[in-house]
Amino acid sequence: MNQFFLTHGNAPFALPNSAYARFDQAEPVGLDDAEGARFVFSAVSADWFVATRHPSVDLASSEVVVSWWSRYWRRMFGGGDDAVEASADAWEPFDDVPLLRYEVDLRLSRPEYAQYAAASAAEETWFHLLNDPGSPVEAQVFGNLFQLAASSSDCD
């Protein structure tokens, strides 16, 4: 099981230098009359993609990626030669990928507020989040649903 969903024990995680993310939600939902908001992004560590040498995440070859995922889903749900598929590649990608949740709290008076409010309208857009300890915007980063967050300002 992915460490993001563990409900007991300690699930330490390293803050990545960067992450690929999609906007998840804003609190409050209606930003028109808000004096401030929490902007939430669901993310995966970009560092993991760079370090992982596996055909399922080979960003240099879309054909290899498509082929690997096709075999994976056939193995999971049938639809192929199960004996061949079961032995083809038994790696379970969803157990290893570092899932993250970034939360950014901003007041309306902050200059960055408008940029984040615009991002909240771009739910289909992928963002490349960079952790910069010197940034004026700090994020709380969760590596597990049931533990305390780390601060993006703690990233080395």
Record the pTM.
Answer: 0.81
At 112, is the secondary structure helix, strand, or coil?
coil
Helix (H, G, I), strand (E, B) or coil at 111: coil
pLDDT tens digit string along 7-24? 887 778 889 999 999 999
Give pLDDT, residue 14: 86
At 61-73, the pLDDT tens digits run 788 888 888 888 8
> What percent of the chain is predicted at pLDDT more than 90?
24
DSSP for 98-145 reads -EEEEEEEEETTSTTHHHHHHHTT-TT-EEEEE--TT-S--EEEESST
